[in-house]
Chains A and B, each alone.
Chain A
Amino acid sequence: MPFNHKHLLGTQFLSPSDITTVLDTAESMLEISTREVKKVPALRGKTIINLFFEPSTRTRSSFEMAAKRLSADIINFSKETSSTVKKESLKDTVLNLEAMNTDALIIRHSSSGALHFISTFCKSHIINAGDGAHEHPTQALLDAFTIRQEKKSIEGLRILIVGDILHSRVARSNIFLLKKLGAEVTLAGPPPLVPEEFKKFGVDIDFNLDRAIKGADVVMMLRIQLERQQKNFFPSIREYRNLYSLTTKRFRLAKKNAIIMHPGPINRGVEISADLADSAKSLILKQVENGIAVRMAVLYLLLGGKEREITD
């Protein structure tokens, strides 16, 4: 099935068949990273800019590697060393970079919807690498890819997402995507961080982790985002740990062959115990590895081939 999108702004705009196209393409890309020459010429001559207004280790280097393995040229931009510190506006920064004839901009920004705003005036392909608490589509796609790799199919799986749902763009992108592929999604965490409004996305909410984890196929832990937590959403880290940390004992309540996922970076000993994070049940590093193949697929599907009739 063709992938008819100009931008990748969020998983909410993708159809189930779009998602399957990305995952199938990523399946083919996986092998390239195991070759001796880890490079194919598919995007030769394309220019991509990594535009990160927020810090990142995994996503930025993963996109950079993905672009390089497809032979595209990629430039890294970070907020601290740019004219953003001289108060240049977001729009001006983007327009100036685009004037250098870019083909795609991979952007992370702290404001939800910043990417949508940029897509209204930008001619390049826009790829969302995380916008505020809105979406982080490639993370959800690589999570789905990793789940599919382990469990063959996503339909009908019981997937539990635990932690700071309120501030999490990863959670939103995952909820949209997993529901589209027919999973049953449950959210767990302290009530102030798990808003009731999420029920409208068709998910269940349970504030009691010991109850929610029973029978889960996949347990997805989220990072406690201390940088976004100006208000006190829970009394103390210690209390959070007692109620919501994934420990070996708690994990025994999930299905026997359940798997653990985490988008990183992990706070060891807070949302997940260190021994569990390093255990064979944890796919955290597999997610990172798969991330490159998934991002190669996204770049290829958006940038490969002729400018098409675009429907979105």
Chain B
Amino acid sequence: MEEKIKARVMDSRKIKRAIQRMTTEIIERNRNLTNLVIIGIRTRGIYLGKRISKLIKELENTDIPVGVLDITLYRDDFSELEAQHMVKKTEIDFSVGKKDVLLIDDVLFTGRTIRAAMDSLIDLGRPNSIQLLVLIDRGHRELPIRADYVGKVLPTSKREIVHVQFKEIDKSDEVLITEPAEIK
């Protein structure tokens, strides 16, 4: 499907500042940082999680482990999906039981991914608490879910698509809004 770029809403400087601000908020709110663990939702939640973990290490000299969560097997829209989703690995080599889990994703939209991620986490153990961090909150929630830390609130129409790109896997750090091109 062809997509037309409508706007570049964040560049690498803006992304960096948002991450710095959110990291400070995390440190402020979690007095016992040693009990914090980060779980990044595949794919871009992982890179966001790693950057935050690195920043906490720089600021507070505390190591925060980062795990990777694949939510494919917990999706609630199996029967509606057109294409099959490849199941990828969940890689969490520490226990989440009794931990304060910081769940991280790039974009918060309907909330269904987060619902699936929470179900999955609770099957892995009983966390002390779960907090949610997203770089972009684009609205249109279908479930009663909200984020504790938000990089940027971005009002969008449902038709639009928000792309978060990280230089670890994409060309550069940026956030784009695109729209499917008109079918002629």
A contact set with B: CB distance below 8 Å: 2-3, 21, 24-25, 27-29, 31-32, 35-37, 39-42, 70, 297, 300-301, 304-306, 308
Contacts and interface: CB of A to CB of B under 8 A. Distances in A.
Interface size class of B (residues with CB under 8 A): 20 to 34
Given A41-B74, A70-B73, A308 B84 contact: yes
Interface stretch (B11-19, B118-126, B142-150, B159-167): B118-126
B79 interface: yes
Given A28-B87, A35-B123, A36-B124, A306 B73 contact: no
Contacts of A297: 87
Contact of B89 (A3, A28, A301): A28
A25 B89 CA distance: 9
A306 to B, nearest CB: 6
Contact of A306 (B72, B79, B124, B125): B79
A141 to B, nearest CB: 15
B81 interface: yes
Closest 9 pairs (CB-CB, A-B): A40-B73, A42-B73, A28-B87, A37-B123, A305-B84, A28-B89, A305-B81, A2-B84, A25-B87
A41 B88 contact: no
B86 A24 contact: yes
27 contacts: A2-B83, A3-B84, A21-B86, A24-B86, A25-B86, A25-B87, A28-B90, A29-B87, A31-B90, A31-B91, A32-B73, A36-B124, A37-B123, A39-B123, A40-B74, A41-B119, A42-B72, A42-B73, A42-B74, A70-B73, A301-B84, A304-B84, A305-B83, A305-B84, A306-B78, A306-B82, A308-B84
B174 interface: no
A173 B86 CA distance: 25
